[in-house]
Structure 1
């Protein structure tokens, strides 16, 4: 994510940001019918915009003001007065019943990153973070996909956590360079790190135990994700299938690589990703 727009002006003339054409998200969204795909791109553009504020939106007071403007814009959208930069969400909200509280949860999740670096959160805080930045996006997504409400919410809960924990494990070294550490405090305390810095944590000789435990937790969420996917119509779960399968390749690669430093950046091979796309992109 790049710099956020910190001006109060609304970028009415700008096209919404789209996912990179080589990304798993882009491939998954391409499986959707046109109306649903465009709705997902509108949600993606919103998520990317608020993520940019959190990651590179300038001083804290500017980021806080910009996130508050996003909250106000979402409220105005639901009040029938959408500002220009959320107008692409009007049709998805009306057509698919997207919930205002899920948009607010995404903003609140970005705010957790925006004002202070997250360092060894307790498990409850980490779970809240995963719910806001990942599962809330999932709750918006499953309504667009067309899943039944109850299973859709369950899928968003498990898949969001599976994907976010995979991201955390993949990015531990890059996050530490930015002063962030998303590994849970309780697991770090179990290896003797009671007040860890990011640098000290990733260099600890037993950090692999923490990562392996978090990987096991992610694996449990993947299993629950697939249980829900398999009992629902394939037409409503193709995008979720591809995302779950593609992200699991990252988890597999991390487990194969191991946790000893130096840790090479993992990336699934093109053939493996192509196999996933072919398997889950076929009707």
Structure 2
């Protein structure tokens, strides 16, 4: 997540997700208006994520994220800058909320301001809400879910997906100087002043990862309860995302946490099964 001194080309127009990703598979099955809206939201998220990760010095990243905040404010004031114009129609058509876009930026700022290392549980939950559940709140409005169940699904599924990402990416994050495993869990295995390197070397790392995986599992289960009670047409994309990411979590649990940790990626046949099961209304 990196702050750029000037807007990148990707920020000027919607960027398509990777063709092989579960997000792409889920979104391409949506009706055209919903698909275009989701691609515009994706492009925004990708742009601010690039700022936080790859945007140069921290003060440069902070300044660019502030420019994004101002651009979102201008969008809602009726004077959208060029890079927010793809969001104009989705905001109008689906009633997307300014505070959810700003929450995503605030989440990226948490990464940009300092490398996150062993946050306490409350900070980790806030981070998950901003970088994942806020995106979910934007998404469920596009999908057409009712307000109450939609926000509840965004809460649980956003956290399930983000916790799965954290568990999948612990080695890549450590290489960046980051460690998203919660401080309380690390203290429970004797790491009172954890560093990414110390956590990854610790013989009881698996206990921390297994506990976080159990939290993710609880959020997946809550997500499926909400999905089961909602109209099927409005939950096609969330079903695909939940099922595809659950494959990643199951793969991580089957692989285990001992080094060396091979990258877990669901096979094409399993992903095809998810699409066949959940991609047809």
**TM band (smaller chain):** over 0.9
**Structure 2 partner of 1:62:** 60
1:255 equivalent among 235, 253, 256: 253
Gaps of 5+ in 2: none
**1:33-73 CA-partner distances (Å, limit 9, x unpaired):** 10010000000000000000000001111111110010000
**Structure 1 partner of 2:198:** 200
* Partners of 2:10 and 2:43 within 8 A in 1: no
**1:145-180 CA-partner distances (Å, limit 9, x unpaired):** 000000000000000000000000001111111110
**1:173-216 CA-partner distances (Å, limit 9, x unpaired):** 11111110000000000000000110000110000000000000
Following superposition, the deviation at residue 4 of structure 1 comes to 5.7
Q: How many residues align?
A: 281
**Structure 2 partner of 1:72:** 70
**Structure 2 partner of 1:215:** 213
* Partners of 1:50 and 1:67 within 8 A in 2: yes
Q: 1:138 to 1:12 in 2, by over 3 A?
A: closer
Distance 1:4 1:64 in 2: 7
Distance 1:220 1:11 in 2: 39
Q: 1:13 to 1:154 in 2, by over 3 A?
A: closer
Distance 2:256 2:225 in 1: 27
- The secondary structure found in structure 2 opposite 1:153 is helix
Gaps of 5+ in 1: none
2:138 equivalent among 140, 148, 151: 140
Distance 1:107 1:57 in 2: 14
Distance 1:193 1:73 in 2: 42
Distance 1:62 1:178 in 2: 18
**Structure 1 partner of 2:105:** 107
Distance 1:208 1:161 in 2: 20
Distance 1:243 1:82 in 2: 31
Q: 1:87 to 1:12 in 2, by over 3 A?
A: farther
- The secondary structure found in structure 2 opposite 1:238 is helix
Following superposition, the deviation at residue 233 of structure 1 comes to 0.8
Alignment of 1:131-280 (within 5 A): 131-280=129-278
Distance 1:196 1:72 in 2: 36
Runs (4 or more) in structure 1 with deviation over 2 Å come to 3-6, 9-15
Distance 1:253 1:63 in 2: 35
Q: 1:13 to 1:274 in 2, by over 3 A?
A: closer
Distance 2:211 2:47 in 1: 33
TM-score in terms of structure 2 length? 0.97
Following superposition, the deviation at residue 14 of structure 1 comes to 4.5
**Structure 1 partner of 2:25:** 27
Distance 1:46 1:269 in 2: 29
Following superposition, the deviation at residue 31 of structure 1 comes to 1.5
Distance 1:41 1:148 in 2: 21
